[in-house]
Structures are given as C-alpha cells and as structure tokens.
Amino acid sequence: MLGTSAGAARPVPSIKTGRPATDLQASPPQSMPEDEARMPEMALGMASHSKPEVTSSAEQAAEGEPTPMKLYVMPGACSLASHIALVWTGAPYELAVLSHAEVGGEGYRKLNPKGAVPALALDDGTVITESLAVLEYIADSYPDARLDAAPGSVLERARLNEALAELVSDVHKAWAPVFAPGRYVMQEANQDDAKQAAFAQLDKQYARLDQRMQGQEWLLFGRRTVADAYLYVMCRWKDRSPTPLARYPALAAFKARLDADEEVQRALGEEPTG
C-alpha cells in the first residue's frame, strides 16, 4: 500500500460522539479571520456541523490510557497536513475537528491566541502552533516513521526546512488574496483584480513545484516526509484557481498517488466537511 511504513498495523479509530470535539465555547466569528489557516473553509462557505472527537485506538480509549498528543484541525485548512503526518507515524493521538466559528472563538483562543489551526496539545499541557513547527515536532518525535531528515544530516535538515518554509511562506501565503481579498484591497470593486494577480503568482509557484517533482515520487530524499503532507494539501487547493492542477502533470500524479493512500483517506475521513 502506498505510504505505509513498516511496523504494526494501524488501529481503526473510535469516534466519540457523546460530546463535542472540545469543551471550548465558540463565539461568533470575526469579520475577517486572522490566519490563512482558516481561509479555505471561509472561502468555500463550509457549513458548521457537529464534530466528533477521534481517538486513534479503540482499545486505548476503552482502557482509559492517555494519548500523548491532541491535534486541533479544521476541515479544508492546512492543518490536514499535520493530521496526515500523524497518521503516517502510526502513533496514538486525539483529533479535535473545529468549525470556523470555534477556531475564532474565545475558548479555542485560550489554547491558541492566534485563532488558527493547527495546534498540537501535548499531555503535559504544552501547546505547539504553526504548521512548520507542528510537522517538525511530529517527525522528530517518531523517527521510526522516517518522515524527517536523516539523523545527523545537517544538509537534509536544511533541505527539509527549506521545503517546508517555501510551502508555508510562499505557496500558502500566495493564496491569501484569493481567500481574503479584503485584506489587500480596500475597494470591493477591485477585489477581483487582487485575486487575479494572486492567481498569476500561484501559477508561477506551482510551475516551479511541478518542475521539481518531474521524475520523482516524493519531494525530498526519494522517500516521503512531512513536506509531502503539506505539498498534498497545496495540490488539493489548486483546482480552486482558473488553472487546474491537471495543467501540472507531475503534481497531478503526486496528488493521485496520495489520494489512493489508505492512510491519507483515513485522515480525510476523520475530518467531516458537512
């Protein structure tokens, strides 16, 4: 199976529906989200829904054993990358699936004052935010999954940081005028111009990534890493632009491979969208 690392079989998650995903009290969303991590859902008008809390092991949940981390995500957002990475590790985790209103609400802001996803809460109360930091923490915490740079390789570490920084800071940020044009253009009549300018920049970003992926299955090192999880999310977004992902054959092939990955399918299934 594509994307399955060696080791124990992945447990089927139990879904606890008796209470909301978190005890966080949602408040009305602000007129404009504060982080692009919340933009896709807002732009697509995804409905709020009753959301389950997912534990990655039914046996573990039944025995009351603690899980080492809890990941907060929102359907359609970049937090899917961290979710996929966690599934790839095979490690136990809890998943809190939040609505747009909850991400902007007072309760969640007590956990993450930025009002953005992902956030990773550890069992000692530590909270890690920002996709790059969460992904690297996951990779470093589970070295057997080989989602990180090779141990002791300074160059591989630099290349992984380089790839993640590009995806988070360049590619993701280039979507900002598309999902929230009001941040960049005061006059509503001119907002479409901002979107069209952003689409032109995005095409350049994706063309560069497509060139890099020519003749290879993974972004780095000839094997999957946490950077591939983020690249997958960026590929999923591209069909929201006038230039579909199909125009970039290497990226389209990469996305098709991960679409067929059972572990990716599991992560997608744990984030209901309506």
* b/e sequence 222-245, b meaning 16+ C-beta within 10 Å: eebbbbbbbbbbbbbbbebbeeeb
Domains and CATH numbers, the chain: 14-146+262-269 (3.40.30.10), 154-259 (1.20.1050.10)
Average pLDDT over residues 179-184: 86
* pLDDT-derived band at 64, boundaries 50, 70, 90: low
The answer to whether 61 touches 14, Cβ cutoff 8 Å, is: yes
Helix (H), strand (E) at residue 137: helix 131-141
E-strand stretches of the chain: 14-16, 53-55, 69-73, 94-97, 119-122, 127-129
Task: Answer yes or no: are the C-beta atoms of 73 and 113 closer than 8 Å.
Answer: no
CA dihedral of residues 22, 266, 175, 165 (deg, nearest 10)? 90
Task: Provide the 3-class DSSP secondary structure of residue 73.
Answer: strand
Instruction: Say what the pLDDT of residue 24 is.
Output: 52
Of 53, 58, 52, 54, residue with least CA distance to 11: 58
pLDDT at res. 2: 36
Lowest mean pLDDT among 17-31, 149-163, 186-200: 17-31
pLDDT given for residue 60 in this prediction: 46
- Distance, in Å, from the CA atom of 116 to the CA atom of 37, rounded to the nearest integer, reads 6
pLDDT surpassing 80 at residue 16? no
Contact between 23 and 72 under an 8 Å Cβ cutoff? The reply is no
CA distances from 14 to 59, 100, 105, 110, 138 (A): 9, 24, 27, 27, 21
Q: Is a pLDDT exceeding 50 seen at residue 44?
A: no
Other C-beta atoms closer than 10 Å to the C-beta of 149 total 21
For residue 223, what is the DSSP state? B
Q: What is the pLDDT of residue 185?
A: 84
**What DSSP line would sit under 140-152, residue for residue?**
HH-GGG--SPPTT
**Tokens representing residue 175 in the block:** 């979507």
Tokens of 26: 């949602």
Dist. CA 36–CA 202, nearest whole Å: 15
CA-closest candidate to residue 135, choices 123, 127, 124, 147:
147
Residue 237 pLDDT greater than 60, yes or no = yes
* Confidence at residue 28, expressed as pLDDT on a 0 to 100 scale: 35
- The stretch 35-55 carries a mean pLDDT of 43
Per residue in 69-121, pLDDT (tens digit) is: 999 999 999 999 999 999 999 999 999 999 999 999 999 999 999 999 999 99
Between vectors from CA 235 to CA 22 and to CA 202, what angle results, nearest 5°? 110
- More confident position, 182 or 113: 113
